[in-house]
Structure 1
């Protein structure tokens, strides 16, 4: 196995997924100590990233992405919609805790698989933009190495993000401000995707 290929794959993954590390930490911060909810975050990340790989590989071998380049910026609407939903959910939970002392019974169950997958895929425009030309000029065996490295890296990314989320200082911040951090992070990611994609300049 070519070490240069592995190194290139690692570099490409890190460069295109720095923002995902922060977003994953936010998701894990919503469910400290809840193993099943944490597994949903991991499953959602893998599902969303797999969808990115499918689009990228299809685009490389078909000569064009399944999603037109002009449509990619509009994926920013997905995290914006999820951010608004998270804000509404947090508001409803806040109202419930005001009217009831039993806060534990009505606590959040954490993000759903489709929630994490949707954000991961919507935030994957830069991934697709980098992976398509990489895959297009690579042999099938090399593409297989890229994919294997990427999938292993996703697991390491999840482990790192969960570690950050469970760090005492970070966990305390999420416990106190998590209901605000998640909607703000989602809305920021969505807006950034729209702005960087030039949606408002058209």
Structure 2
């Protein structure tokens, strides 16, 4: 269930790991917060027998569009992406990166809620907790796989060299796809 609903997330993680603006710790924290939020919302929704309409979940598609557009603007204007860990003005940017990863993970996984909620609704509390532990383990595997690919001796160099240029377009396309697949575009036009 986790793999089928998060297969596209591996490409987003590749982009984050390839972007020198993001530190590994920020990506890991943001990913866990995002997956945790998706899990938590699904658990609450299953307990309340509340299924959030996909059109409203699709509004989360604006998060990757925003972050992609902002990153594209930074690239276009030649804004330096290298962060000096001793620069205290940029220290708060680390929190912004965590928030960016979290929001993109939630937006990318908004459809997961519609899959997880009915499954959680039909399981015992013990089963739901077990699934949560499995999700935590699989998130670590997902992060490890993406990090390994970016640092692979052969594949890593092109990913690192070009990944940060591709990420804005991937994020914008992901946001548009989320808006489209969730039917949010029709919600916005009416």
Q: TM-score scaled by structure 2? A: 0.85
Counterpart Cα distance in 1 of 2:128 and 2:185: 35
The answer to whether structure 1 residue 30 and structure 2 residue 3 are counterparts is no
Unaligned 5+ residue runs, structure 1?
Answer: 1-11, 97-105
Aligned partners of 2:81, 2:127: CA distance in 1, in Å? 46
Larger Rg: 1
Quote the Cα distance in structure 2 between the aligned partners of 1:69 and 1:175. 34
Query: Deviation string for 1:14-52 (max 9, x for gaps)?
Result: 000001111101111113xx9x81011000000111111
User: What does the per-residue CA deviation read over 1:126-147, in whole Å, with 9 as the maximum and x for residues that have no partner?
Assistant: 2111100010000111111110
* Partner residue in 1 for 2:167: 182
Partner of 1:44: 30
How far residue 179 of structure 1 moved from its aligned partner, in angstroms, is 3.2
Question: What's the counterpart of residue 88 of structure 2?
Answer: none
Match of 1:108 among 82, 85, 110: 82
Partner of 1:138: 123
67-76 or 185-194, larger mean C-alpha shift: 67-76
**Contact 2:65 2:176 survives alignment (8 Å):** yes
5+ residue gaps, structure 2, are 84-93
> How far does residue 74 in structure 1 lie from its aligned partner after superposition?
1.5
Q: Could you say what the CA RMSD is over the residues aligned between the two structures, in angstroms? A: 2.0
Q: What number of residue pairs does the alignment pair up?
A: 176
Could you tell me how far apart the structure 2 residues matched to 1:51 and 1:89 are? 29
Distance 1:75 1:190 in 2: 8
Displacement of 1:180 in angstroms is 1.8
